[in-house]
Amino acid sequence: MKILFAASPLSIVTDVLAILLLGLCAYWDLRYRKIPNWATLPGIVLGLGMNTLQHGWGGIKASGLGLLIGFGALLVLFVLSWMGGGDVKLMAAVGALKGYPFVLSALFYSLIVGVVIGVIMLIWKRRTLRTFKNLFMVVGSRVTRLVPKQDIDREQAQKIPFGLAIILGTLWAMIMGYAWSPITLAGL
């Protein structure tokens, strides 16, 4: 029986750091509805450093690309005021710690979790019909002149803790990544 891949001590430390960062940010986001810079910025620096130590030039490229993709993908939503800056920096930290292409999986699963959380919150607060009516009116006002121009009332908009979606989506991506590793697929 030949082992195709063995986790190095530094990769295990990086995973543990990522999980600790996610746990800390989950607590902070649920309790205070903010994700602090003092948690995300060290995560970015540690991610860049750990991946450089572990993989050299290739590690810093993967980590830097993960950082840029994680930051850039959510920066657009921040500029549109659809999410907070802490969420953007948390995804950047995930990208720096876990690198590219992992950050793409984390983004994908985070968006799925975010939609599920949003739908659950709408149902829980009994705003489903009103939200879909407002969505139809806003989209309809942009697409056709038959509906008077509508804007989103930011004060009445349902806000979801997207940091929680990032945390759960990243953990989901970590689990899926390990479940579909070459070792598992090879039957070892």
Is the entire prediction scored with pTM above 0.85?
A: no
Separation between Cα atoms, residue 3 and residue 31, nearest integer Å: 43
Average pLDDT taken over every residue of the chain: 81
To which H or E segment does residue 30 belong?
helix 9-32
What pLDDT shows up at residue 182? 40
- Summarize pLDDT for 141-159 with one digit per residue, the tens: 666 666 565 555 555 555 6
**Unique residue bearing structure tokens 């990544």:** 177
> Position 153: which residue type?
D
CA atoms within 13 A on the CB side of 26: 14
In the block, tokens 């984390």 appear at 106
159 three-class SS: coil
Distance of CA 164 to the CA centre of its chain: 8
What pLDDT score was predicted for residue 83? 86
Q: Which of 177 and 35 is assigned the larger pLDDT?
A: 35
User: Which tens digits make up the pLDDT trace of 26-58?
Assistant: 999 889 989 999 999 999 999 999 999 998 999
Mean pLDDT of 10-24: 90
